[in-house]
Amino acid sequence: MKRLSHHRALLIGTGLCICLAFSPALLAEGKDKLGLGPNSELISGGTGMVTAGVGLSSTLGDNLPDPNASGTLDFTVPRRVTIQQVFLYWNGIHREKKGGDNTIVINGMEVVGTNIGKGGRKGDAFYKANGNRDGSVGSESSNNFSTTYRADITGLGLVSHGDNSLLVEGLDFGDNPTDGTNNLANNGAGIVVIYDDGHGNSDLYLSDGNDIAYHNWKGKRRKTKLLSYDFVPKSYDRHGKLNLFFASVKGAISTDNDPSAMRPSVIEVRFYQGDVLVKQENLINELGSADGEEWDTLRHRTVLPASADSMTLRAFSQDRLETGNTPASLIWVAAGVAFDSQANGSHCRQAKHHGNHQAKLKPTPPGKHQRRSHKRH
């Protein structure tokens, strides 16, 4: 069993609620060596989501992860909705290929998660060394691995209407270091609450997995794989939100013991009509471990152009503004996309939210694959 702390923090929740109408929802699971992608696992349906995240990267001496580190997931679930499902995510970095930690403790209950990294041996995506830009290849002892886990915790009955505060603890991604450059971390955890408010149709999408990028690697590994989402064009623009979970961007471990240092990144959001680019948004340097060291939940409001039939997302470890700072090491855990069916977003309600939250969810019409191949950069 996990070791539990002897305290319980009672905090008033912060949360993000995205209201979207029912459509059959598919949970997307990373299938590639690296990357976020679709899966046939069904979500029971819903119209919106509430999310929260927390960084858990407290460290001991020599930057070893602290297995007693804890934090709270604080959020608010709207009243008069039906809670459909609750998903918990967590991520960390470990030294051994067979390492990781598939268990986590939430409000005193031990939860076992599914490895959704799907890369390398035993599903652990290769994170560091091999293929640096200078041509060097790290030794086996300097390799690190990143793994993401997901668990459906709906049946635990932990989430209720109104304010919620869930204590998360018990992560231990640490291995015994074989040299003095140990860089292991319990990066953090995030929660997604899917609910139904009884309002009209909307587009909901979720991709999750374990995609990574770092500026010092060669070629394509400086950016994540392309995520693509298909839409039916309308006669009007539609409001929506992107909800993104990232790990390992900023903290004492990832930022050479200087968690105050800004680490540049870029997330490109592109809308297409066929192969014609309709609109592009660049989210520059918006990641910065907003939920605590080594964990981000980025929310971005956007508008889906009426003529657009697809949208792509991609993250870059890149100093596009030429600040001179070292670009972020990125672990993309999940991407949620939510667009209202109405021109003015009239079916959207907004729950209380004070800052550290994020969501992810991915549905499409039955029988329609969620990703489409685009020959785009």
What is the mean pLDDT, run by run of 10 residues, along the chain of 377 residues?
36 27 38 48 69 83 69 94 91 80 96 77 43 39 77 96 96 63 76 82 80 84 92 92 90 71 95 98 96 91 96 96 93 85 55 35 32 43
> CB atoms < 10 A from the CB of 175, how many?
19
Is residue 371 in some structural domain?
Answer: no
Is residue 52 in some structural domain?
Answer: yes
Is residue 370 in some structural domain?
Answer: no
Distance between CA atoms of residues 105 and 116, nearest Å? 19
Indicate the DSSP class of residue 220: G
Q: What is the pLDDT of residue 156?
A: 97
Indicate the DSSP class of residue 225: P
Domain enclosing residue 268, as ranges: 16-340
Distance between CA atoms of residues 130 and 177, nearest Å? 19
Angstrom CA distances, 337 to 72, 93, 229, stand at: 24, 26, 9
Is residue 8 in some structural domain?
Answer: no
Distance between CA atoms of residues 50 and 303, nearest Å? 20
Distance between CA atoms of residues 317 and 319, nearest Å? 7
| Amino acid (one-letter) located at 107 | N
Is residue 375 in some structural domain?
Answer: no
Instruction: For residue 18, give the nearest of 233, 206, 285, 276 by alpha carbon.
Output: 206
| Amino acid (one-letter) located at 246 | F
Is residue 62 in some structural domain?
Answer: yes
Is residue 368 in some structural domain?
Answer: no
Sheet arrangement for strand 109-112: 70-77, 162-169, 103-106, 109-112
Q: Are 74 and 312 in contact (CB under 8 A)?
A: no
CA 38-43-45 angle, to 5 degrees, is 125
Q: Which residue has the tokens 């998660």?
A: 113
In terms of DSSP bridges, do strands 202-213 and 330-340 run parallel, antiparallel, or are they unpaired? antiparallel
Is residue 70 in some structural domain?
Answer: yes
Distance between CA atoms of residues 89 and 66, nearest Å? 19
Q: Which residue has the tokens 């694959």?
A: 369
> CB atoms < 10 A from the CB of 229, how many?
23
Instruction: For residue 207, give the nearest of 377, 70, 39, 90 by alpha carbon.
Output: 39
Maximum Cα–Cα distance across the chain: 60
DSSP string, 34-92: SSEE--SEEE---SEEEEEEEE---B-GGG-B-TT-EEEEEEEEPTT-EEEEEEEEEEE
Q: What is the pLDDT of residue 13?
A: 23
Q: What is the pLDDT of residue 332?
A: 93
Distance between CA atoms of residues 135 and 175, nearest Å? 27
| Stated pTM of the model | 0.78
| Amino acid (one-letter) located at 46 | G
User: What is the number of domains present in the chain?
Assistant: 1
